[in-house]
Amino acid sequence: MHSEEIFVGIIPRRTIPMEIHGSRDLITMLQSNYLMESEWESYRLDVKIDAEAIKRQAKWAGIKPGMRVADLGCGPGKITSLLYDLVQPGGTVVGVDGSAERLAYAQQKYGRKGIDFTQGDLTQPLDHLGEFDFIWVRFVLEYYLSQSFTMVENFARRLKPKGIICLLDLDHNPFNFYGIPERLEHTFKQIMKELEKKADFDAYTGRKLYSFVYDLGFENIDVRVENYRVTFGMADELELFNMFKKIEVVPEKIKFKFKDYQGGYAEFYQETLAFLSDPRRFAYTPLILCRGSKGA
């Protein structure tokens, strides 16, 4: 059975907006190096956002009304919109992303006066964007193992004196599991090793954020560690959607060989489905947040 046919059994099509259905040729047309690129990606990123958590985290970081904010790696724009609400009255937000498809989705769903969605390469200097009071960087640096510090250095140059940067990333990504079959756990670890080598992916970005901010001389640094996700009991439909899009897209991107599975990817998929659907399994993912203010 093709993996997409299995997947439709987990997430009924009625939960997927019609406008994101389309030909797989769309993926080729995007010509993106983004690891998770697929025709579903804007939707996946949108629906997994916990709005209340984002607002709480941004307030902790120091966002205030009237600020000019940059949401770097804004994706489908939901967080950009939430940040905009937090800087009212008088604030504005610039959402920057490398994907034209993602930005079109963001503009259609979240575009309004005071929010500017713009395409940009976050690995390059962003001088053309001007200066900001607050810069938000969530789940970006994990995709740039070899460039992450230089990127943060470039971001910091766009801050006004006393401006705030807030970096957020997972640590030991993906989940830390208990009760996982040995073969499956070994395969997950092998996939992560190949991601580091072939895709410059960093599974341990979160623990590095403090050192980035410290080494750049930021002041009033603070760090918070939260549970991004804790999984136990019956499987949540959207959580399965998120996880299975990852295991559909990522192995194909790096041409991973499922050597431990005689039936190849299909057998791996079925074992993963059985494990993630088991109410006895336990998993958690830590999220690390680091904020700091730029000196005068």
- pLDDT(111) > 70: yes
Domain ranges in the chain are: 3-176+203-248+282-293
Q: Which CATH class is domain 3-176+203-248+282-293?
A: alpha beta
Report pTM.
0.88
Q: How confident is the model at residue 270, as a pLDDT?
A: 96
Residue, of 235 and 280, whose pLDDT is higher: 280
The angle formed by the CA atoms of residues 211, 161 and 156, to the nearest 5 degrees, is 40
Q: What is the CA radius of gyration of the chain?
A: 19
* Tens-digit pLDDT profile for residues 146-185: 999 999 999 999 999 999 999 999 998 776 999 999 999 9
Q: What does the pLDDT average to over 204-212?
A: 97
Share of the chain above pLDDT 70, in %: 89
Task: Decide: helix, strand or coil at residue 275.
Answer: helix
Whether residue 76 has pLDDT greater than 90: yes
pLDDT recorded at residue 57? 98
Range 16-43 average pLDDT: 55
**Residue from 128, 112, 133, 122 nearest 70 by CA:** 133
